């Protein structure tokens, strides 16, 4: 999702696409080696990349460079979580990080689990595809793609969110809204989340987690 402002928005999008392409240029890693090296991650994220609890994110099929950047942000303190910070710091070799992230990226992409609240999901779908022009909420599809799979490996600044765990998505959206999470490029997610009501966030999460 991206901030909805008429002036400068095109330039920002172009800049983000260019940054994503540059980031992807160095994407390398051995998924086979990464499977063994990622054993310590399986306790939370599962060997198949699907979180074992609803508050743990699914990593299956996520962009390699996106996961890698999150790990580095934990180490650098740009993103804060005591457990993940310690885990990220335990991966001291750059090649190990590349292999581990390549492994999760190679797995069958995460799949959604539609919830029971179809009415709420329908409201979320409208916001996902259309945003809320009246309040400046930019449509999620513009950055995360119409299918929620982000853009592509050449622009992996926008993560795969289709089928991400509902509890995890809700926490991230609320953390962006409160400012607790601030490692989003150019502050885009923080800016958009602050414009969303609690009801809008709940609706979008309901839809995206079940895509």
Owner of token pair 């958009």: 192
Fold match flag (9-21+112-209 vs 27-106): yes
Note the pLDDT tens digit of each residue in 156-174: 899 999 999 999 999 999 9
- Whether 3 has a pLDDT exceeding 60, the answer reads no
CA distance 137 to 123: 14
CATH of domain 9-21+112-209: 1.10.760.10
- Whether 13 has a pLDDT exceeding 80, the answer reads no
Report the pLDDT value the prediction gives residue 27, as an integer from 0 to 100.
Answer: 55
> pTM value?
0.86
CA distance 154 to 149: 13
Mean pLDDT of 82-102: 97
- Whether 10 has a pLDDT exceeding 80, the answer reads no
Who's near 106: CB < 8 A, 6+ residues apart? 31, 34
Owner of token pair 């953390």: 175
pLDDT band with cut points at 50, 70 and 90 for residue 4? very low
- Among residues 127, 168, 120, 176, the alpha carbon closest in space to that of 4 is found at 127
| Boundaries of every domain in the chain | 9-21+112-209, 27-106
Note the pLDDT tens digit of each residue in 14-41: 445 444 444 444 558 999 999 999 999 9
- Whether 108 has a pLDDT exceeding 60, the answer reads yes
- Whether 143 has a pLDDT exceeding 60, the answer reads yes
Note the pLDDT tens digit of each residue in 160-211: 999 999 999 999 999 999 999 999 999 999 999 999 999 999 999 999 999 9
Mean pLDDT for all residues in the chain:
89
Fold of 27-106: Cytochrome Bc1 Complex; Chain D, domain 2 (1.10.760)
């Amino acid at each position: 999702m991206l901030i909805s402002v008429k002036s400068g928005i095109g330039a920002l999008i172009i800049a983000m696409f260019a940054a994503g392409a540059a980031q992807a240029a160095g994407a390398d890693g051995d998924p086979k080696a990464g499977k063994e090296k990622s054993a310590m991650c399986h306790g939370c994220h599962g060997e198949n990349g699907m979180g074992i609890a609803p508050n743990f994110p699914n990593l299956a099929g996520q962009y390699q460079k996106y996961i890698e950047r999150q790990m580095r942000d934990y180490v650098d303190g740009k993103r804060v979580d005591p457990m993940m910070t310690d885990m990220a710091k335990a991966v001291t070799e750059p090649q190990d990080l590349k292999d581990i992230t390549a492994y999760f990226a190679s797995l069958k992409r995460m799949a959604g689990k539609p919830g029971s609240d179809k009415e709420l999901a329908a409201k979320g779908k409208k916001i996902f595809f259309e945003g809320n022009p009246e309040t400046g909420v930019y449509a999620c599809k513009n950055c995360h793609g119409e299918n929620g799979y982000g853009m592509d490996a050449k622009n992996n600044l926008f993560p795969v969110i289709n089928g991400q765990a509902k509890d995890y998505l809700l926490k991230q959206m609320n953390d962006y809204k409160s400012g607790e999470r601030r490692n989003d490029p150019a502050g885009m997610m923080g800016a958009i989340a602050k414009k969303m009501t609690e009801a809008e966030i709940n609706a979008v999460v309901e839809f995206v987690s079940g895509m």
